[in-house]
Structure 1
Amino acid sequence: MRFALFALVFALNFAGFARADGERAGAFDYYVLSLSWSPTWCALEGDARNSPQCDPRADYGWVLHGLWPQYHRGWPSYCRTTEPMPTRFMTEGMEDIMGSSGLAWYQWKKHGVCSGLSAAQYFALARRAYEQVNRPAIFRKLNRAVTLPATVIEDAFLKENPGWERDMLTITCQAGRIQEARLCLSKDLRPVPCGRDVVQDCRLKDALFEPIR
């Protein structure tokens, strides 16, 4: 009996951190703008797929992974919506900042439908969010792989974006590499503090950071 009561209390306390599939579109608290370092994605996944994003001629650095509706605790996905799916023209129009039309389509299907916007409105908002971020130019000047503390990446973004605070940004790592920079934004794209479940600060002191190809 005591164990069952403990299990119930645990479930009630932590259920809010789980993602919720099929929620009502437009019912969320803020956005997470996720920027992915393309050389890391290529090394871990893209090269094996022969992705055009990883062609050196593409010259991708920080690409838009997605603009994700978020709750203060947890996040929605695959929401119910009456909005039509994006056209190929729409998704191909995002390749310049997302790396591929396939990613744009998937991001709409999983996250965009939860925004309460049409596909065209969502992609326009995602582009505006991406373009308002000053991505540190120093990263494009690297000509060899380096290892560094993940906080160096965070500091560079904060320096280039006055008005941001540390609790509005998190840097993630994967397989010992710098993976993403994630910024929390209000629905009108103002930087806001991130919820606890968004903060995944990489603690590595020697994270691998490869140059743009």
Structure 2
Amino acid sequence: MSHPFLRAAVSLAAIVVAGAAIAQDEGGRTRFILAASWQPAFCETNQRKPECTSQTGDRFDATNFSLHGLWPMRKDYCDVAGTLRTADKEGDWTKLPDLELSAETKAALDKVMPGTQSGLDRHEWTKHGTCTKLSADDYFSTSVRLIDELNASAVRDLFAANIGKTLTAEAIKAAFDKSFGAGAGDRVKMSCRRAGEGRVISELTIGLSEDATSNDAASLRDLIHGAGRTSFGCDQGLVDAAGF
């Protein structure tokens, strides 16, 4: 029979080890946000945008997440001239300077970011990309790689299989955990918006570690787990279908 003091010591050790594991899991710090839009929901309230005028179910963005942006935390408009800041904030992003992108990057970006038709890429670079110390081509090729990983996951599969139906926070977090490891869903926030008489899921913002732009080999899984936890936000919403 083991001594009661020995049993207490073993129990205490187990608690300490478990506590250390939890502390390690929660010890990450969010340095970047990957913003992934559900384009049909965005277009419900932006029907005059060029990228929204021909919403059909066979478009890529009808069943996949679209890239909104890759945002450094608490930094924007780094070394950007005042005139460009003003132009950006006025919202006519097509007046912002052209981006120097390779043909490959531009083609990939146009596919996952429908908003390039409205100059969203120029806005994202002006406000956020300038704070990453990357070239525009590297910034967007990294962003495309990360959204591609999301679209190759159980999260995208869950959304595509439930178009026209309601998804709960629990189901979405479980899909993140399935694809990116236990606890991944705790690094995600969901936004919803009113559309008609219901509430549709408009965007997922996913916390990432500082390696998001400093290590081009870092997987989305590793970047998520290097980030801090957050509240999920909207608890449920409809997966909107393309079209109005």
Mark the runs of 5 or more structure 1 residues left unpaired by the alignment.
1-28
Distance in 2 (alpha carbons) for counterparts of 1:165 and 1:157: 6
1:137 aligns with 2:160: no
1:151 aligns with 2:170: yes
1:8 maps to what in 2?
Answer: none
Give 1 or 2: higher helix fraction.
Answer: 2
1:97 maps to what in 2?
Answer: 112
CA contact 1:139–1:211 (8 Å) conserved in 2: no
CA contact 2:60–2:111 (8 Å) conserved in 1: no
Distance in 2 (alpha carbons) for counterparts of 1:147 and 1:81: 42
Once the two structures are TM-superposed, the CA of residue 123 in structure 1 deviates from its matched residue by 0.9
Give 1 or 2: higher strand fraction.
Answer: 1
Give TM-score, length-normalised by structure 1. Answer: 0.69
Distance in 2 (alpha carbons) for counterparts of 1:53 and 1:159: 35
Aligned positions of 1:58-69 closer than 5 A: 58-60=59-61, 61-69=64-72
Once the two structures are TM-superposed, the CA of residue 109 in structure 1 deviates from its matched residue by 1.0
Which sits farther off after the overlay, 59-68 or 159-168? 159-168
Once the two structures are TM-superposed, the CA of residue 119 in structure 1 deviates from its matched residue by 0.5
- Counting matched residue pairs gives 176
2:77 maps to what in 1?
Answer: 78
Distance in 2 (alpha carbons) for counterparts of 1:114 and 1:129: 18
Distance in 1 (alpha carbons) for counterparts of 2:133 and 2:159: 35
2:51 maps to what in 1?
Answer: 51
Distance in 2 (alpha carbons) for counterparts of 1:167 and 1:99: 28
Aligned positions of 1:1-213 closer than 5 A: 30-45=31-46, 47-52=47-52, 54-56=54-56, 57-60=58-61, 61-70=64-73, 75-80=74-79, 86-87=99-100, 92-93=106-107, 94-101=109-116, 102-133=119-150, 134=153, 135-142=155-162, 145-162=164-181, 164-175=183-194, 176-186=199-209, 187=211, 188=215, 189=218, 190-192=223-225, 194=227, 199=230, 201-205=232-236, 207-212=237-242
Q: Deviations over 1:114-154 (max 9, x none)?
A: 101110111111122222332431322335x2234333223
**SS at 2:137 equivalent:** helix
1:122 maps to a residue whose letter is Y
Q: Deviations over 1:147-189 (max 9, x none)?
A: 3433322322222322553332222222232121122222234
CA contact 2:176–2:184 (8 Å) conserved in 1: no
1:18 maps to what in 2?
Answer: none
Give TM-score, length-normalised by structure 2. Answer: 0.61
Distance in 2 (alpha carbons) for counterparts of 1:42 and 1:116: 32
Distance in 1 (alpha carbons) for counterparts of 2:54 and 2:137: 26
Q: Deviations over 1:183-203 (max 9, x none)?
A: 22222342246558xx46224
Distance in 2 (alpha carbons) for counterparts of 1:208 and 1:194: 27
Instruction: Mark the structure with the bigger radius of gyration.
Output: 2
Mark the runs of 5 or more structure 2 residues left unpaired by the alignment.
1-29, 82-96
CA contact 1:178–1:208 (8 Å) conserved in 2: yes
Distance in 2 (alpha carbons) for counterparts of 1:86 and 1:107: 11
CA RMSD of aligned residues (A): 3.0
1:4 maps to what in 2?
Answer: none
CA 1:149–1:137 in structure 2 vs 1: closer, same or farther (change >3 Å)?
closer
